[in-house]
Structure 1
Amino acid sequence: MNDNKVLDASKRDFLKTMGSIAAVGAVSTWVPTQKAEAWFFLPKDRIANFPSNITLFKQRYENWSGESRYEDAWTARPRNQEQVLRIINWAAENGYKVRPKGMSHNWSPLMLNDQDKKTKILLVDMPTYINKISINSKGIVTAEAGIQMEALLKAMENRGRGFVATPAPGDLTLGGVLAINGHGTAVPAKGERKTEGQTYGSISNLVVSITAAVYDQQQRKYVAKTFYRNEPDIRAFLVNLGRAFVLSAQLQTSKNQYLRCQSIFNVHQKELFAPNAKSGRTFSHFLDQSGRVEAIWFPFTDYPWIKIWSITPNRPLTSRIATHAFNYWFAENIPKSVLDLIKKIVIDKSTYLTPSFGSFQYKISKRGVEGSIFSGISTLLTNGRVSTQTYDLWGPSKNTLLYVKPSTLRVTANGYAVLTSRANVQRVIADFCTEYQVRVKKYQRMNRYPMNGPVEIRVTGLDQPNESVIPNAQTPALSAIKPCPDHPEWDCAVWFDILTLPGTPYAEQFYAEIEAWMSQHYQGDCLMRPEWSKGWGYSNTKAWDSRYYFEQELPRVHAQGQHVDLTIQSAAKVLKQYDPLDLFTSPLINKILKY
């Protein structure tokens, strides 16, 4: 059999496999091994002197994309904040680093990486018990750091409260979200007025106070200390990268809104991402209409999946009531064996089929949203057709804003926020999309396909301290979307993520090239900062590896136009002051903060 026949046979096998995968609703990527179950051990193997009344076990740590792993990590499971402090003080006396462990839904190795194998580390399981919540009559939420966002939003919903926007996963802990500047997608629509308690920035901008474990010089131990939003030192804690151990936080809320979430698949990318904001159904057009837009653009396709959330107090006749969150069933519960097969075919052996794979992702998503995929799962109607009707949903905000579950397909991703003016959003997006296509085609001519997942584009407001309910509120020093006082016209940020399967050949090289272009291009009338939880600082072989980015670019973009108290250096100094024993550090944090 000649090479062409072998190629054709491979394509036929691939498409046949894709067809069978479509029947169970698989979409874009591969699910890595789930985190291993914890295991216990004989009493004689327990760490010496560790408090006997606190649960201790070992487990394998693994992050969201499966790229960061740590075998046999000692993990403590406290039942209350008092036990958390006991663990921290035990670690200080016994030479251990301490890291709060949430749900590990993170890409960057802020908590653990390979260099940590030389360090004695104790993880502290926060979600199991450190998750209590209360809401007062003014709508201020007091929540422990281990509470997951879905539970937090549900408790708020029961009291008629909500947020303007949130990250899409429901399994993130509050502590994790505050560490990495977690955000959703929202700016004011034309004519929309902000109500009391609302912010269009990140979750960190909702903080009223933060309680963290800090070292008390007089007592010579770590104690709980509360920082209020109008106190200067809180600037370093609002987005802390995990360099602080947050115990709980108070957050402002607003009256819960009912949102209509519509999915659109019929706008060509040339129209959506056109340079002129007024030339049809552009991204800015939808932004003006609703203020809440996300574009998911699958590789080698022309019609992005556009999601539009609109404030809609009453249910439209055509909308399906969303009675719960996570309505995109086709993106969940994918068997690992099926996704391993996708990884093996698309990445390990047949990268030239990436265009076909991109088309497959688009079709499955479109048909899944429209409810036109045949499947053997329990949502079948009598005629064998899945009736999901997720293209037009309506309900309380939580039920449309949360749509990523732990079982959702996993990828690696880069991430950046481009600060700009609302009037400039369309050009920022158009320039990126044009450059992205040029580079993808350049690689394609070399028979290389580094990007096999979608581009995701969102727009948020900035972390404006005047949106806080607290007078004289402080700005998060390490926020990717802290405002620039020398550019008051910059009132929003465009977030870009490019997704691909872990281990894809030439991915890091592609990421390095696009990062270098973006850093150079988005200057003057805009500014780009990295998204802490995603990939950035690329060399040609891996993320967080570019010496130039760490030494030059990162300090520049966080200091440009800022008061000296809002630089990385200043935040590092404050965090060091409250943790002088460096219990809450990691190699990547040290690299960022230059310890």
Structure 2
Amino acid sequence: SLEAVVWDPGTGRHVVRTFGREDAAIGPLLVHMGRALVTSATLQLGADVNLRCLSRTDVPASELYAPPALAGPRSFQALAEASGRVESTWFPFTECPWVRVWSAEPERPAGSLSLDKPYPYTFANWVAREDSDAAAAWLRETPSRTPAFLGLARALAQAGLDLTGTRDVWGPSRFTTLHVKPSTLRYHVSGHAILCRRADLQRVASEFHRAVEDLLEAARIRGAFPVNGPVDLRATGLDHAGPGQAEALLSPIRPRPDHPDWDCALWAEVLTLPGTPGAMRFFTDLEAWMLGNYTGDYASVRVEWAKGWAYSPAGPWTGPGMLEGHIPRGFTEGYGRGWREALEGLRALDPAGIFGSPFLDRLTKAR
């Protein structure tokens, strides 16, 4: 359940109201884009499980993201099928990504480091804000330093895993899955979720990786280096509601009833330091490519609300085609009134738009 500040027509004022997960009115509140004020939430959790996380830095990107016809046992999909949990971090202009594979292990495997707290990769979480800003300024001054900078970042990650003994860690999932703190480099991050069939996961990952490589190479030829951070890919299941529970209407990974075969999502993130020249052009081009590639019965793209999306040369959250077209369609196709249902629910709980903003008003205007 959750508690939210909502309009009460009976009293003519805003009140705190409790919504159970079985209450249809909770659907728009579960993912509300900031268009509501949730004051508390009560979560139902299962028992924690012990997970082992193995970090690999020996799989070339050409093998990890190989086209499906060439994919082998160390491909992204093969690793996901073997354990169900995989994430890759590729530093552009380098050969081998940092791949993390989680597996359920009730007992500590021999050789695994037992964790008693989260964030084991301390080598990645020590950057002061002024140092992050200095790195961004250094690369803005001479963008051609970017390949060397990314090579250094990748080398530091590999050395950090060895020096801290964290290539093989084990413990409660809350310790082995939480690994990024606010004290890492301060990146701008684009974020999208690609809904697809599990059988197509390798194709989705391979095509995305190739598109990023092609766009970066085209930029390099122009003398531009718009991406100076890693590219992260992560595979997950979808956001299924339990029996009798209301769906999260605006969840990026809400299942499509007209595509029950789309049973997983690939989360794709590209990171770059703020102010990097050419970054907005790159993100605009990449997003346009994604929308044109993952279509029809193959796959569909949704935005990760907490990250950057709807790009134009002016920056994130500005692209009219996304704001006024693709995003509403993405939550309407397969649902009938999906997008409109969510917006009507939010407006009913806050008819005066107290929790709105000019940006949200543009995004959520009736269509």
> Would the TM-score normalized by the shorter structure come out above 0.5?
yes
Residue 136 of structure 1 corresponds to which residue in structure 2? none
2:317 & 2:146 partners in 1: Cα distance?
Answer: 26
- For residue 504 of structure 1, what is the aligned residue in structure 2? 276
Q: What is the aligned partner in structure 2 of residue 263 from structure 1?
A: 55
- Give the drift of 1:473: 1.5
Q: Is the 8 A contact 1:271 1:280 kept in 2?
A: no
1:357 correspondence with 2:170 = no
Q: Aligned match of 1:243 in 24, 35, 60? A: 35
* Aligned residue-pair number: 364
Note the C-alpha offset of 1:556: 1.3
CA contact (8 A) 2:73 2:79 kept: no
Mapped partners of 1:548, 1:432: distance in 2: 21
Give the counterpart letter for 2:113 in structure 1.
R
C-alpha distance after superposition, 1:398-425 (max 9, x if no partner): 1111112221221001111000011010
For structure 2, list consecutive stretches of 5 or more residues without a partner in the other structure: none
Kindly report which structure 2 residues correspond to 1:330-345, keeping only aligned pairs within 5 A, or say none.
330-345=123-138
How many Å separate the matches in 1 of 2:90 and 2:361? 35
- 1:310 paired to 2:103: yes
Q: Which amino acid aligns with 2:28?
A: A
Structure 1 gap ranges (5+): 1-208, 372-387
1:220 aligns with 2:12: yes
Equivalent pair of 2:5/2:16 in contact (CA under 8 Å): yes
SS at match of 1:559: coil
Aligned counterparts of 2:122 and 2:42: Cα–Cα separation in 1? 33
Distance 1:363 1:346 in 2: 18
**Which residue is equivalent to 1:211?**
3
- TM-score under structure 2 length normalisation: 0.96
Letter in 2 for 1:247: T
Aligned to 1:49: none
The separation in 2 between residues aligned to 1:429 and 1:407, in whole angstroms, is 29
Q: In structure 2, which of residues 308, 315, 326 is the aligned counterpart of residue 542 of structure 1?
A: 315
Partner of 2:348: 577
- Residue aligning to 1:32: none
Equivalent in the alignment of 2:22: 230
SS in 1 for 2:34: coil
Residue 551 of structure 1 corresponds to 324
State the match for 1:594 in structure 2.
Answer: 365
How many Å apart are 1:485 and its aligned residue?
0.7
Within 5 Å, give how 1:75-224 maps onto structure 2: 209-224=1-16
Task: Choose which of 408, 416, 422 in structure 1 pairs with 2:184.
Answer: 408
Q: How does 1:439-518 map to 2 (within 5 A)?
A: 439-465=215-241, 468=242, 471-518=243-290
Partners of 2:174 and 2:84 lie apart in 1 by 17
Between the aligned partners of 1:442 and 1:283, the Cα distance in structure 2 is 25
Q: How far apart are 1:459 and its partner, in Å? A: 1.0
Q: Identity of aligned pairs, percent?
A: 39
How much has 1:344 moved relative to structure 2? 2.1
- CA-to-partner distance for each residue in 1:162-196, whole Å, 9 max, x for gaps? xxxxxxxxxxxxxxxxxxxxxxxxxxxxxxxxxxx
What residue identity is the alignment partner of 1:265?
A: T
270, 295, 300: which one aligns with 1:523: 295
Residue 250 to residue 339, structure 1, CA distance change in 2 (3 Å)? closer
SS in 1 for 2:315: coil
- SS of residue in 2 equivalent to 1:438: helix
CA distance in 2, matches of 1:338, 1:535: 23
**Which has the higher relative contact order, 1 or 2, with Cα contacts under 8 A spaced 6 or more apart?**
2
State the distance in 2 between where 1:322 and 1:269 align: 29
* Contact map agreement 2:119 2:178 (CA 8 A) in 1: yes
Q: Report if the CA contact (8 A) 2:129-2:186 is conserved.
A: no
Distance in structure 2 (CA, Å) of the matches to 1:548 and 1:324: 44
User: Who is 1:25 aligned against?
Assistant: none
SS at match of 2:302: strand
Distance 1:249 1:335 in 2: 33
* Counterpart for residue 378 of structure 1: none
Out of 76, 86, 90, the residue aligned to residue 297 of structure 1 is 90
Q: Secondary structure at the match of 2:356?
A: coil
Larger radius of gyration between Structure 1 and Structure 2: 1
**d(CA) in 2 for partners of 1:398, 1:559:** 34
Instruction: Tell me if structure 2 keeps the 8 A contact 1:456–1:496.
Output: yes
What whole-Å deviation, never above 9, does each CA across 1:134-165 have from its counterpart, x for those lacking one?
xxxxxxxxxxxxxxxxxxxxxxxxxxxxxxxx
Most deviating of 330-339 and 240-249: 330-339
How far apart, in 1, do the equivalents of 2:132 and 2:15 lie?
46
Q: Which moved more, 1:274-283 or 1:285-294?
A: 274-283
2:173 aligned to 397, 400, 405, which one? 397
Distance in 1 (alpha carbons) for counterparts of 2:238 and 2:231: 22
Distance of 1:276 and 1:421 partners within structure 2: 13
- RMSD over aligned Cα atoms: 1.3
Give the superposition deviation at 1:541. Answer: 2.4
8 Å CA contact 1:259–1:312 kept in 2: the answer is yes
Aligned mates of 2:161, 2:216 — CA distance in 1: 27
Task: Note if 1:281 corresponds to 2:74.
Answer: yes
Q: What are the superposed Cα offsets for residues 431-469 of structure 1, whole Å, 9 maximum, x if unpaired?
A: 11111111110110111000111100011111112xx2x
| C-alpha deviation, 1:337, in angstroms | 3.8
Find the partner of 2:114 among 321, 338, 341: 321
| Aligned match for 2:333, one of 541, 544, 560 | 560
Instruction: Report deviation, 1:212.
Output: 0.9
In the TM superposition, residue 213 of structure 1 has moved relative to its aligned partner by 1.1
Does the 8 A contact of 1:267 with 1:304 survive in 2?
A: yes
Could you give the per-residue CA deviations for residues 261-289 of structure 1, whole angstroms, max 9, x where no partner exists? 11100000010001127423001111011
For 1:533, the aligned partner's letter is A
Cα deviations across residues 20-56 of structure 1 (Å, max 9, x unaligned)? xxxxxxxxxxxxxxxxxxxxxxxxxxxxxxxxxxxxx
CA deviation after TM superposition for structure 1 residue 514, in Å: 0.5
186, 193, 198: which is aligned to 1:417?
Answer: 193
The Cα of 1:339 is off from its aligned counterpart by 2.9
Distance in 2 between the 1:399 and 1:297 partners? 23
Shift of 1:563: 3.4
| Separation (CA, whole Å) in 2 of partners of 1:502 and 1:338 | 13
Partner SS, residue 414 of structure 1: strand
Give the distance between the partners of 1:542 and 1:280, measured in 2 at CA. Answer: 39
> Which letter does structure 2 place at the counterpart of 1:361?
A
Conservation of the 8 A alpha-carbon contact between 2:136 and 2:276: no
Letter in 2 for 1:356: A
**Whole-Å separation in 2 of the counterparts to 1:341 and 1:501:** 10
Cα distance change, pair 237–340 in 1 and its aligned pair in 2 (3 A): closer
Contact kept in structure 1, 2:136 and 2:275, CA below 8 Å? no
CA distance in 1, matches of 2:26, 2:222: 50
Supply the distance in 2 between the matched residues of 1:526 and 1:260 (Cα, whole angstroms).
Answer: 31
> Counterparts of 1:462 and 1:563 in 2: how far apart (Å)?
20
